[in-house]
Chains A and B, each alone.
Chain A
Amino acid sequence: MKRIIFLVVVIAFIQNINAQNPDFTGYLRNYSGMLLGNGSTDFIILQNTFNLNIEKRFDNSAFKVNPMIYHYMSDSLYFRLREAYMDLYFDNFDIRVGKQQIVWGKADGVFITDIVSPKDLFEFLLPEFDEIRRGVIGLKLDYYIGNSTLELVWLPVFTPTNLPGENSAWAVKPSFPLPPSFAYSKQEVKASLENSELFLKYSTISENIDFELMGGYMWDDDPTLFSSVSIDSATGNTKLTIIPEHNRLTVAGGSFSMPVGPFIFRGEGAYYWGKYFNTVNPALNRGVIQKDYIHYMLGLDFTLFDIYLSTQFVQRVIMNYEDIIRPTVLFKGETNNMMTFLASYSMMNETLTLELFSYYDFEYSNALIRPRILYDYSDSINLQFGANIFTGTEGLFGQYDKNDMIYGRIIYSF
């Protein structure tokens, strides 16, 4: 009987949805990636993706549901509900409630003030940027004053960074002085009022400059790896336990974008108070130290000989740096300097695009170089062929030196 009632409810819902004629858009994508070099030609990615957007706009409200299914070569499925929200529109303000992706800032491919939605790093930084962001569950209120917006975001449920699994080619393997064991009991942040995250942003667009000012009282999306050192009573050996735990962060920052002659000059920066960094001594202060941290970017976009060019200089600085801080894939010392570079050229009435995007990290002299060809076979079908080349042997990109790959994608949009 319950099944019948459930079926009736589902059928009634679908009929109701159909009667209101929501828009169904999205894409089907076949994505195959093959390793290059190191004597390997293994397929690193064999993936089919189905992305569906169900949307409906009314005069004073709207809704959107965006399920996404990844099908892998092992015949396994990975389901993501990227967004599921409702909008309410008023004269001077809008409210969005539900699971949503929130994007802030003016930087491209670098996350500085764009920290409301955490990252899904299941395939490192290789997916399209909209796939890298995770939806967050909460309420967003936008209050409009002319071309300015005051945005308040309240997230009662904390969503952390999604890291690749241990067996993934993109797994990050931090080094420890001893083989550790992990205790995950403190990693979860329970949904409660006191555990909420709050973000506030003021933004404006105008004739001469667009800018944003933001602040956040949040959880660090990446867990801090606290240490516990003890002596094993049975063997007498020193035992290291790693306890991942999320910590509160207070962040303030801003960004701008302005035309200067033929250039668009962009900048973005954020100051983080009391971010935890691991130290080289796991026995001291649980193996961590708290430091303020600055992350900023200056960028320039322009067109030269019909080629769109965009470059960014990105710097991270650990304030009041101490030598006890353990080096990571980003930091050898107190700063990390990085550049990004994009060149894009379209031809054949924008049916064929040649693109090159790259990150270069000065700290470990390592890079990710991403050439790509995109071809619109028709209005619905886009073909892509590209490569991901990791240079260097250490650092954020060099750690994946063995993952150089070529790939092909067929995308059917509807």
Chain B
Amino acid sequence: MKTIKLAGLLILALVVSNLKVFPQEITGLQIIENVYNRPVGEDMTADLTMTLINSSGNERVRKIKQFSRDFGDVEKKIMFFVSPADVKNTSFMNWSYDEEGKDDDQWIYLPALKKTKRISSDSKGDYFMGSDFTYDDLGDRKPSDDTHKLLREEKINGEDCYVVESIPKDPDYMYSKTVTWVIKDKWIGLKKEFYDEDGVLLKILHVKDYKKINGFWIIVDTEMENVQKDHKTVMELRNIKIDTGISDSKFTERMMTRGI
């Protein structure tokens, strides 16, 4: 009888503790969907600075002017490279579709060649301009591409976070899993760990600063550290303008070739 009572108490304790940890029984998928669907405005203009820092502490700086707009079923982004000098006036345009399974369309304009080239979006695993961010890290990965599991709650940097493990459904994906710390009341991924194909920690993303602009939570400073190569990239967004009404004509070959 005592054993039954003890078991009952243990079960009760477990239920209570579970209720305490996950009071609304929110799932990992719901958390990642909330992050994915967090409103960030319809369009954005910003100046992006990427500082690449190698293991010796040497820095290389890339500056970009970027414009993006969500047209509902398609999100368009155009980037103009400002520096360094040898890539100045290069531009990159990406059209990302909501439709399940539809690949992005991507073009790059090379000013020396005076040519707009279509490039394969299959190279999403490629690193962006020598940084520690892949093209996929910079885009919005669809929640349905991974299986999500809520691991625990944890407080980091003074913020209450959900910790969610995401495992890609595609076994050949460049990461075997990611673990994300999501701020509970803001749905911002504050920290993210990326594990390589062998399950070994490869990179850590830290969100250093975020601001409320035009009523939307916008991530402004991030740092991606490749712990295997001891190389990191600091990414800073400045002069952020939200919902200024960027027209569709901004996302055309005309603008790619004309530049800013």
A75 interface contact, C-beta 8 A: no
CB under 8 Å from chain A, chain B span 103-133: 103, 105, 107, 112-123, 126-127, 129-132
| A156: Cβ under 8 A from any B Cβ | no
A21 interface residue, CB < 8 Å from B?
A: no
Contact assessment for B118 and A349 in the assembled complex, using a CB-CB cutoff below 8 Å: no
Q: Is the interface on chain B under 10, 10 to 19, 20 to 34, or 35 or more residues?
A: 35 or more
Q: Is the interface of A mostly helix, strand, loop or mixed?
A: strand
Q: Chain A residues near B83: list those with CB within 8 A.
A: 379
| Interface membership of B195, Cβ < 8 A | no
Partner-contacting stretch, out of B11-19, B236-244, B251-259: B251-259
Per the bound structure, the CA–CA distance linking A203 and B60 in Å amounts to 37
Q: Are B253 and A130 in contact (CB under 8 A)?
A: no
A205–B61 touching, CB < 8 Å: no
| Bound Cα distance from A380 to B86, whole angstroms | 8
Q: Would you give the 0/1 interface string for A382-414, flagging 1 where the beta carbon is closer than 8 Å to chain B?
A: 100000000000000000000000000001011
A257 pairs with B130, CB closer than 8 A: no
Q: For the complex, give the distance between the alpha carbons of A106 and B118 in Å.
A: 9
Expressed in whole angstroms, the Cα–Cα distance for A378 and B118 within the complex equals 29
Name which residue of chain B comes closest to A257, CB basis.
B118
**Contact code string A256-300 (vs B, CB < 8 Å = 1, else 0):** 011101111000000000000000000000000000000000000
Taking CB atoms, residues of chain A closer than 8 Å to B116 are 205, 210
Chain A residues, Cβ within 8 Å of B54: 349
Whole-angstrom distance from the CB of B61 to the nearest CB of chain A? 7
Whether A149 contacts B254 by the Cβ 8 Å rule is: yes
A293 to B198, CA, bound (A): 56
Do B114 and A130 have beta carbons less than 8 Å apart? yes
Say if the beta carbon of B199 comes within 8 Å of chain A: no
Is A350 within 8 A of B130, CB to CB? yes
B1 close to chain A: CB less than 8 A: no
A264 lies within 8 A of B84 (CB): no
A349 touches B130 (CB 8 A): yes
Interface residue from B85, B118, B121, B231 paired with A205 (Cβ < 8 Å): B118
Q: Are B86 and A147 in contact (CB under 8 A)?
A: no
A15 touches B (CB below 8 Å): no
Once the chains bind, are B95 and A207 in contact (CB under 8 Å)?
A: yes
B252 touches A349 (CB 8 A): no
Is B88 among interface residues, defined by CB-CB distance under 8 A?
A: yes
B52 interface hit (Cβ, 8 Å): yes
Q: Which residues of A contact B61 (CB under 8 A)?
A: 379
CA distance A346 to B131 in the complex (A): 12
> In the assembled complex, which residues on chain A have CB atoms less than 8 Å from the CB atom of B103?
259
A351's nearest neighbour on chain B, judged by CB, is B130
B121/A259 in contact, CB under 8 A: yes
Q: How far is the CB of A68 from chain B (nearest CB, A)?
A: 12
Given known A259-B118, A263-B120, A379-B61, contact A57–B130 (CB-CB < 8 A)? no
Cβ distance B85 to chain A, nearest Cβ, rounded Å: 4
Report Cα–Cα, A207/B93, bound state, in Å: 12
Shortest CB-to-CB span from B79 to chain A, Å, is 16
Known: A27-B86, A349-B130, A379-B60. A264 touches B253 (CB 8 A): no
Query: A130 near B120 (CB under 8 angstroms)?
Result: no
Instruction: Tell me if A365 counts as interface (CB < 8 A to partner B).
Output: no
Q: Which residue of A lies closest to B60 (CB)?
A: A379
* Known A-B contacts A258-B118, A349-B52, A349-B130; A25 and B85 likewise in contact (beta carbons under 8 Å): yes
How long is the Cα–Cα vector from A346 to B123 in the complex, in angstroms? 13
Knowing A351-B130, A379-B84, A413-B85, the reply to whether A264 touches B118 (Cβ < 8 A) is yes
Q: Does A174 contact B (CB under 8 A)?
A: no
Q: Specify which chain B residues have a CB less than 8 angstroms from the CB of A382 in the assembled complex.
A: 86
Report B-chain residues with C-beta under 8 Å of the C-beta of A230. Answer: none
CB <8 Å contact, B127 and A350: yes
The answer for the CA separation of A149 and B257 in the assembled complex, in Å, is 12
Q: Is A39 an interface residue (CB 8 A)?
A: no
Per-residue A-contact encoding for B72-109, CB less than 8 Å = 1, 0 else: 00000000000111101000000100000001010100
In the complex, how many angstroms separate the beta carbon of A410 from the nearest chain B beta carbon?
Answer: 13
Closest chain B residue to A131 by CB distance?
B112
- Which residues of A lie under 8 Å from residue B52 when comparing CB positions? 349
**In the complex, how many angstroms separate the beta carbon of A150 from the nearest chain B beta carbon?**
12
> Is B84 a contact partner of A413 (Cβ separation < 8 A)?
yes
Which listed residue (A57, A94, A302, A346) contacts B120, Cβ 8 A?
A: A302
* Interface bits A108-135 vs B (CB < 8 Å: 1, else 0): 0000000000000000000011100000
A207 to B97: give the CA distance in the assembly, Å.
10
Contact, CB under 8 Å: B122 / A261: yes
- Give complex CA distance A257, B118 in Å: 7
A101: contacting residue among B84, B114, B249, CB under 8 A: B114
A380–B113 touching, CB < 8 Å:
no
Given A349-B52, A350-B127, are A130 and B118 also a contact pair (CB < 8 Å)? no
Chain B residues, CB < 8 A from A258: 118
The answer to whether A149 touches B253 (Cβ under 8 A) is yes
The verdict on A142 contacting B254 (CB below 8 Å), with A259-B120, A303-B123, A413-B85 known, is yes
Which residues of chain A have C-beta atoms less than 8 A from B113's C-beta?
103, 129-130
A331 within 8 A of B: no
Checking A106, A205, A303, A378 against B126 with a beta-carbon cut-off of 8 angstroms, the contacting residue is: A303
A249 to chain B, nearest CB (A): 23
A12-38 interface bits toward B, Cβ cutoff 8 Å, 1 = contact, 0 = none: 000000000000011100000000000
A376: which B residues are within 8 A, CB to CB?
60
**Chain B residues positioned under 8 Å from A149 (CB to CB):** 253-254
The 7 listed contacts between A and B (C-beta, < 8 Å) are A101-B114, A129-B113, A207-B95, A301-B119, A349-B130, A349-B231, A379-B85
The 5 closest A-B CB pairs, nearest first, are: A350-B130, A262-B122, A379-B84, A413-B85, A103-B114
Contacts A130-B114, A210-B107, A382-B86 known; 12 new A-B pairs at CB < 8 A: A94-B254, A103-B113, A205-B252, A210-B116, A262-B122, A303-B123, A308-B123, A350-B130, A379-B60, A379-B61, A379-B85, A411-B86
